[in-house]
Each structure stands twice: as structure tokens, then as C-alpha cells.
Amino acid sequence: MAVKKKILVACGTAIATSTVVARKIEEELEKRGISVELTQCKASEVPSKAEGHDLIVATTFVSGAGDIPVIQTVSFLTGVGIESDIEKILSYIGGS
């Protein structure tokens, strides 16, 4: 079995919008039969927690992610543009 891809979800507090975003990503990827490992953190914790993740999804501005790709989006909150963000996520995690 393939190793699960790891996605770090960041927001201001690590418990509010990132919770909603993490749940939506999990739901959307599950629909496509993809299971990932999601971790939440504060935007300010990205520099110390980014390592080892394949992708960072943030609802707010983050810096210090190094080489790890960052998708900054509120689509999972507004409902506008979820499909194209899922496509983006899939392009980074390889869809498997």
C-alpha cells in the first residue's frame, strides 16, 4: 500500500477555519478514493511544522514553507472554486 500523502492545513488559530478546510479536503478526496494524512497548525507555526509534508493548504498568508508548495485559498469556506482547488491539490499529491 502506498504511503499516505501528508497535507498541512494552516489558519490563524489552528482550530477554526483550518478544521473546516481539513474536513472538506478529506471529504472531497475520499469521494475520489484518496486517503491523505491531514494535520492542522497556526499560520505562524508553518516554518517549524512544514517539514515532511507534501503540501500546505492555508486560509491565510503563510511564509517559511521552504520548498513545499502552498495553496492559499478560501474556496473550502465560501464554496466558490472548490473543484479547481481539488484539481490543484491532486496535481501536487499525484492523485494516489
> Which residues have a catalytic role annotated?
11
Residue 87 CB, nearest approach to another protein (Å): 17
Q: By CB under 8 A, is residue 32 in contact with another protein?
A: no
- Segment contacting another protein by CB under 8 A, of 13-21, 31-39, 46-54, 86-94: 13-21
What's the DSSP call for residue 59? S
- Identity of the residue, 78 or 96, whose beta carbon is nearer to another protein in the bound complex: 78
> Interacting stretch for another protein, rule CB under 8 A, among 5-13, 28-36, 49-57, 87-95?
5-13
Per DSSP, the residues of 67-87 read TS-EEE--HHHH-SSHHHHHH
Task: State the Cα–Cα distance between residues 95 and 29, nearest whole angstrom.
Answer: 9
Diameter over CA atoms, the chain: 35
Please list every residue from 34 through 93 that binds another protein, using CB under 8 A: 43, 59-61, 72-74, 77-80
Mention every residue, 6+ apart, whose C-beta is less than 8 A from residue 26. Answer: 36, 38
Indicate the residue among 44 and 92 with the shorter CB distance to another protein: 44
